[in-house]
Amino acid sequence: MADIKIYSAVVCPYAHRTRLVLQEKGIDFDLIEIDLQNKPEGFTRVSPYGKVPAITHGENRVWESAVINEYLDEVFPNPPLLPSNPIAKAQARIWIDFANTRLVPAFSTLLRSPDFQKQEEAKQELYKHLEFIENEGLGKLSGDGPYWFGESISLVDFTFFPWFERWAALKHYRSFGIPAEFTRVKQWKHALKERESVKAIAHSKEFYIERYAKFATPVPVAA
């Protein structure tokens, strides 16, 4: 039995983040799948918010994916997934916050809202966020390397990637793929997809299209 237990749900992108970190670091863990529509009795003793992911590490418990991932990076420091330089570490935390407060809400609104006007507004917002990532993130921080901070994979990469693995659902249900002009974003996504830790738990486009069907109604296509 592993010291680490992760409470997860296969469709949850937040849990996906933490599973990627565990895979990348080669940490032995027990995976406990939670049915979010039928949560087991006592789950809130592990996850007070009633959400995944949550982990237990011995007698300790930690919840919220960004917090869990920093905890894992401190307790299992090799390989390090945050820069050691204070300003670079601050930049990493800024981008993690950007994912949580900007990209993810726009993605969710576009996929889940039944209101066409809100979908169009979310498309515009998501485009601006991708543009910001292209120019201010990857364009300024990655240099010639494949990842957010160049040659070294980081928590920032694993924070964003689960939504990009699910992008097929946006393309299928909302006709919004990643625009061709965002070449750095596309290169970054390809590099992540080839990472062994990512491939180990990856799912197909069809998997996400099927799983997200209940959240989205396809936009009618004009004849």
Catalytic residue among 12, 55, 122, 168: 12
**DSSP structure string for 97-153:** HHIIIIIHHHHHHHHH---HHHHHHHHHHHHHHHHHIIIIIIHHHSTTSSBTBBTB-
Q: How far apart are CA 163 and CA 170, in angstroms?
A: 10
Collect all residues with Cβ–Cβ distance below 8 Å to 133 and sequence separation of at least 6. Answer: 98, 103, 160, 182, 185
Collect all residues with Cβ–Cβ distance below 8 Å to 59 and sequence separation of at least 6. Answer: none
The continuous run of DSSP H or E covering 188 comes out as helix 183-193
Known catalytic membership, residue 12 = yes
SS3 60: strand
Catalytic residues: 12
